[in-house]
Amino acid sequence: MQKANFISQRLKRLFDCFDDSMIQSCFEGVYGELWCDDEQKPGTAVIVSGDFLYLAGKPGNAGEIAVFLQDKPNAVIVPGRDEWFGMLDAACGHRLIKVQRYHMRAAKGGFDTKSLADLADKINCPQLEGYTLCGVGESEYRECLGSDWAYSFVSNFLDYEQFRRHGFGFVVKHGGRVVSGTSTYCYYSKGVEVEVSTSPEHRSKGLAGITAARFILECIHRQLAPNWDARNMASVSIAKKLGFELHDTYTAYEFKE
């Protein structure tokens, strides 16, 4: 496969079956790489965007696509057709499984900003004494970059300056360390892809909801659409509490644990 130097309408049409902000980001030249079998007459194409791979067109070139996955143990592979699974699974040593994921979008009536503000303010409740909420500055950026669980908060940016110009995030700290947060995983002209996570030892305290509420309020302020890709029903539940609705359910492939 060859890296596409120009994203033609023919290539874009191969991805018509997808509805994903990260594909839009790639088309705008912001983030992600587009590869295809033939730039002039493309039949098969793949977008590589962080841990996400989007497979479009006629299933093929599985061996070459498997190379993209060699250093991505947390890869999420999103196929345009289910026929991709057999050949790609074989190329990856039969280590793939099918999972269901969920695209969440803002409700038609928009977000309830008062409810979001009230949720973000829960950081001040007595049960969370010792926890503080703040924006992602340079020190938080560098701490997340060196963290296993928070790495994806900032990993899709070249450096802090690019993050400062195009991304933003909010984290909760405890004992001076980042323990939960919501940040920009990817961006495009009209919105952002949301990344939410909490360190294992600080879960079940509502911290993810607090940081996400503050993040969405900032999206509203910046007139950006927040896109939430939920991996499981727990993530769906958090998103619904924030004012998101289920947009669609889709099948993805991941590596077996």
In this structure, which amino acid lies at residue 143? E
Neighbours of 84 (CB within 10 A): 23
pLDDT of 107 reads 86
Mean pLDDT of 164-172: 97
In this structure, which amino acid lies at residue 69? L
Mean pLDDT of 205-224: 97
pLDDT of 257 reads 83
Same-fold call for 2-94 versus 104-248: yes
- Sorted by where each begins, the domain ranges of the chain are 2-94, 104-248
pLDDT digits (tens, 9 = 90+) for 44-94: 999 999 899 999 999 999 999 999 999 999 999 999 999 999 999 999 999
pLDDT of 109 reads 87
Nearest in space to 49 (alpha carbons), one of 82, 72, 66, 70 = 72
Mean pLDDT of 143-148: 96
Q: What is the dihedral of CA 52, 206, 106, 23, to 10 degrees?
A: -10
**Topology at the third CATH level for domain 2-94:** Aminopeptidase (3.40.630)
pLDDT digits (tens, 9 = 90+) for 81-135: 999 999 999 999 999 999 999 999 998 889 999 999 999 999 999 999 999 999 9
CB 167 within 8 A of CB 202: no
Counting residues of the chain whose pLDDT is more than 90, the rounded percentage is: 95
Using a 10 angstrom Cβ sphere, with 0-12 exposed, 13-18 middle and 19 or more buried, the burial of residue 119 is: buried
**Main-chain phi, psi angles of 21, to 5 degrees:** -65, -30
Task: Identify the CATH homologous superfamily for domain 104-248.
Answer: Gcn5-related N-acetyltransferase (GNAT) (3.40.630.30)
